[in-house]
Amino acid sequence: MIKSLIAVSALGLSMAGVAGSVYAADVSQAPAKKIMVFYPGTSGMEWILKGTEHGGAKAVKRGEPCIGCHIDENKKMDESAEIGTKILAGEKSKNTALEPNPIKGKPGSIAVNVQASHDDSNLYLRFTWKNTGFNSGNKMDADNPIKLAVMLEAPGTLENDTTGGCWATCHTDVRTMPGVTDDKKTKYVNGASLAEGKFFDLFQYRSGTGQKIDGYIADKRVMEGGTALSEAKGELNGDTWTVNFTRKLSGGAGDVALQPGKEYNFGFAIHDDHTAGRYHYVSFGYTLALDNPQAGVNVVKQ
């Protein structure tokens, strides 16, 4: 799941206790939403839509979001951690083990605090979580200990877009799925068209290189071309990761324009332990909106 993330240079200053920029002070005081990211294994969209494999297939086809079944905040019920733990252990979900190569010792989920604020020009996002400390020794991406990617999309424009975060872009025929021989096929969205405004906005932070990636996902994943992402920065301070993004409310091709009064599909993913491809943690799909307490992530004006 992937288009460039946004952050602020004041992160290092604020975490060191030094007076930083207005951005860091503002977003750090925005309400925090705890969102669990969990290990999804090989649960691509085709698996989700197969009724003999996934009990929620009918609900998904009706357009109901995954969190409708898996999360109930009123009852303090969140199945994310349980799902990730079972997948990593190699347990079968009905007929299929969603991780053909179980990973011993890797946590099934990570609790992430998400804070969001805006001014007249920019969206500011802040993600904080405890470092898992897990080290497999298998450095798929040797340059980057962690990566964090965010996806945004205007609801109603794409097939399965309201379902669950990145699953509309995650298919069982992409290059890192088991048995796939095409090593070039990236994530994609059925029926997507950048020219027609049918795409997922994607931005990403890479810890080792310090890169900010600003792209989109349509008929393929493109990791460049966006103009909305101004900055993406992160830091590991003790046992806590913090990643900040600064993104313009609007941009160019592949950038979703954020407008008051509208909700947008929102999801994010974390690669830890130098992982790449499908070996990441993902959130379910939420909504994000400017100054709307009813949205999954409320972006408050500061």
pLDDT of residue 258: 97
Mean pLDDT per 10-residue run, the chain (302 residues)? 38 35 66 97 94 92 90 91 96 93 96 97 97 96 97 86 83 96 94 93 96 96 97 97 97 96 95 96 96 96 91
In a domain, 17, yes or no: yes
Radius of gyration of the chain (CA): 18
In a domain, 181, yes or no: yes
In a domain, 95, yes or no: yes
- Tallying the residues shown for the chain, one arrives at 302
Q: Which domain holds residue 195?
A: 10-301
Q: In total, how many domains does the chain have?
A: 1
In a domain, 3, yes or no: no
In a domain, 4, yes or no: no
Locus of tokens 């460039």: 4
CATH number of domain containing 205: 2.60.40.1190
Is-above-0.75 flag for pTM? yes
Task: List CB contacts of 62: < 8 A, sequence separation 6 or more.
Answer: none
In a domain, 2, yes or no: no
In a domain, 129, yes or no: yes
